[in-house]
Chains A and B, each alone.
Chain A
């Protein structure tokens, strides 16, 4: 690289290295086009990051975004010593890990399954149907769960009662996580399978032919041709998922909450909402929120590093 530049300098001494600054005059139109987006992201995404320091300061109505007097880790200590701390951590981890363990493999299985269908029209109909719930709003989904699972009037409630499952499942501590996770799979499994289907469509047809000549049956083709082909996609999506391991779906959990299932359904994010927005304990809530963000970010970095070492696949 150095030699190339040296010769360039010799031949054309006036050519300087292009930098952001000396291309400014040439690219000013490009800067104008991207500036509104930059300003918007700075204000609405970066300024709140600056505002995180509220977690280390006393909230003061007159001081604005960043808060008043510096109090250090006071609010973090308060959170860790709070009687709710371990319950919140346990619930958050339970819900998010169950969601990943059940929800992550499901679209992979669905993609492999749909990929087996040779009847084009049937494949189309199935795909159109399973993608649909992705576009239903969370409020409607939870409303749907409520009316269907209602013990005396809902159709699923009546069915489950016949099967011997009594009582109101929506108010049950034991049923909360299964209902949450299964409805999540129901809603997103189809949509999340698209990306794997795209990866499967890109598999070299020669690999299939070679496998067939070797006498592989369909199951062996899935195991030895198709799954290896989508492993890179799986790893990238797994890293992305792990990055949000502790940020559970706030809206859905919040909507599914009631006083009876609260022991299992209170997670860090709903607690932040209640202490901060509802009870106006802003500094305390900001500290809990930061705690959550830090765990997420650390998880993302750790999983990405492991993936980089093991498989050379990484986000950055």
Chain B
């Protein structure tokens, strides 16, 4: 804490000094508790599996080995899952934004008479829903089971939380006078929205776009419930098979501990590697987009 100069420390009450020390201590512990597991996965994925499994890899990688990554790159399941998830994420997010942004704009217009009713119409779905089975029946009746569409059109396509964030942003950042001036010049709502509102709303578009994108990327539920065809499965389902069902090697070897500790230790390295590979896009983007995520919570919290 360089900002605390010496005389400030001296002038402090002893109780406050103890308090500050406790704060620093807890913060340092917090930092390590959160950061260490993530760091450990990274070093374990490139270390010799024998050292990892005996607890010798703690702070630095030992006995460099890329066995795990080699296995992953050779595994077609991972690539099919990756490809599917990339497609679902980007196309899905595009549709999400296409529906959410105009709707939020309309709900931000105070002269729109049905505004209050429609707000209730959307918010009600946050607190009450049909539940798993009726939703499954609906998807079946619409013939969406085992199709990629179910990842894009589902009960979360219009996420009400994101809708509220966007509406609040429009309300607070698009002055009413601006629309009135535009109307004077013969501007319609369509034109006003696409040429004036959208360019002014890059921040909120980025926020909710990233929310939707991360949600699609991490979506495991949709694949589990609605998809049987393995070629359509998203990355998260493939990950489940590798990480949790222990089907580490696509040929089926090494599963269920048939090879004893030896195979398990190599299987574990594949698992460390696959955690990194699957989380990489989010982890790389994270430092850059973190401020946007935070912004989203702050915009949304202004008005519930």
Contact = CB atoms under 8 A, between A and B. Distances in A.
Interface of A: 18-20, 23, 27, 29-31, 33-34, 36-38, 40-41, 43-52, 54, 64-65, 110, 113-114, 116-120, 122, 125-126, 128-133, 135-140, 142-144, 146-148, 150, 152-153, 155, 158-159, 186, 190-191, 194-195, 198-199, 217-219, 233, 236, 243, 250-251, 254-255, 269, 272-273, 276-277, 282, 285-286, 289-290, 292-293, 297, 300, 315
B53 A152 contact: yes
A141 B34 CA distance: 12
29 contacts: A20-B113, A29-B188, A30-B112, A34-B107, A40-B99, A41-B122, A43-B138, A44-B154, A65-B137, A119-B2, A126-B27, A126-B30, A132-B283, A135-B214, A135-B218, A138-B218, A139-B220, A148-B37, A150-B268, A153-B52, A155-B58, A194-B297, A198-B301, A217-B13, A217-B16, A218-B19, A289-B131, A289-B134, A293-B131
B130 A139 contact: no
Interface of B is mostly: helix
Given A41-B121, A48-B135, A113 B130 contact: no
Contact of A135 (B20, B136, B153, B286): B286
A140 B271 CA distance: 10
Nearest to B285: A135
B121 A38 contact: yes
B297 A33 contact: no
Contacts of A128: 287, 290
A118 B1 contact: yes
Given A49-B129, A143-B271, A117 B304 contact: no
Given A40-B99, A51-B134, A286-B134, A65 B141 contact: yes
Contacts of A285: 132-133
Given A20-B114, A142-B243, A131 B290 contact: yes
A286 B297 CA distance: 34
B1 A290 contact: no
Which of B4, B132, B244 gathers the greatest number of chain A CB atoms within 10 Å? B132
Interface residues of B, number: 101
Nearest to A315: B304
Given A30-B112, A195-B301, 13 more contacts: A20-B114, A34-B106, A43-B153, A65-B141, A139-B240, A146-B243, A153-B264, A155-B57, A191-B297, A219-B15, A236-B304, A251-B220, A276-B132
